[in-house]
Amino acid sequence: MNMRELGFRLIVAGVGIPAILVCTLLGKIWMVIVVLIIETVALSEFYQLYKNKGFSPNIILGIGSVILMTLSVYLFQLKYIYPVIFIALTSCMICEMFRNKSHPIINIAITIFGWLYLSFFSSLILIRQFPKTAGFSHITGGWLVMQIFFTIWLCDTAAYFWGSKFGRHPLFKKISPKKTWEGAIAGFVVSVPSAIFIRFLFVPHTSLLHSIILGAIVGSFGQIGDLIESFIKRDAGVKDSSGLLPGHGGFLDRFDSPLIVTPLVYLSMRLFGIG
């Protein structure tokens, strides 16, 4: 990484992280706005990757579906999730019959996979709202979300630096040649104590078990989420999902780990609670 790229990274992080932090702590519609921006931009990047390969995903319908899913989660949690999925799936198939595009079944598959994949990010809203039903203060939900982000960032940092210096054994060479087992193990080892440390700083009244599980999920599935996105990019033949964030790639590059981590964290909160 050269100094120019590092400078761009620091500028983007210096603006983006505080903005996400403030909106997350405020919660409610501000949290929804953050989630929708990330989902729609990342989904647009995903569809553009496959447009460049000659396919024609239904971008408008896909973005509309992810917005509908997210608003449904915000307003009704998971109460109407099945009707929403049915409406979005059916609409996608019906619309494709009238589009007169080549590769219609592949277009449907790309469209549906894209918005389902990015809809996972709406789990952040469920986590943000969880304290409301668990008897904790409103601000607790914001710190629970930030606990996930901080743990992911620390995991990624440990994996990158340890892997760069000591990595010898490729983790998944055909998908991401630079990732190593040494880096992945370092990321996992750092994740659990990081989640526990953040708990003591910001949410000490939540259970230690929750933080241990969160750290284990980030350390394992966070890195799997990164590999999944690398798999998508390799299939599309690109290094970054876009150049929207200088020094960072695109939104899909920056939020690949939370896409897989947040549904699992929410599930663990439902199963084991946070108190």
Average pLDDT over residues 169-190: 88
At 169 the pLDDT is 86
- Rounded to whole angstroms, the Cα distance separating 259 from 119 reads 8
Which of the four pLDDT bands, split at 50, 70 and 90, describes residue 222?
very high
For residue 246, the number of C-alpha atoms closer than 13 Å in the C-beta half-sphere is 12
How far is Cα 5 from Cα 7, in angstroms, rounded to an integer? Answer: 5
Hey, how many other C-beta atoms are within 10 angstroms of the C-beta on 68?
A: 18
**Window from 16-20, 83-87, 149-153 with minimum mean pLDDT:** 16-20
Whole-number pLDDT of residue 227: 92
Given a contact cutoff of 8 angstroms between Cβ atoms, the answer to whether 258 and 148 are in contact is yes
pLDDT for res 3: 55
188-225: b (≥16 Cβ within 10 Å) or e? bbbbbebbbbbbeebbeebeeebbbbbbbbbbbbbbeb
Identify whether the C-beta of residue 96 lies closer than 8 Å to the C-beta of residue 113: no
pLDDT at 4 over 60: no
Annotated domain spans of the chain: 3-272
Residue range 109-139, pLDDT digits in tens:
999 999 999 999 999 999 999 887 677 888 8
Q: What is the pLDDT of residue 10?
A: 61
Percent of the chain's residues with pLDDT above 90: 66
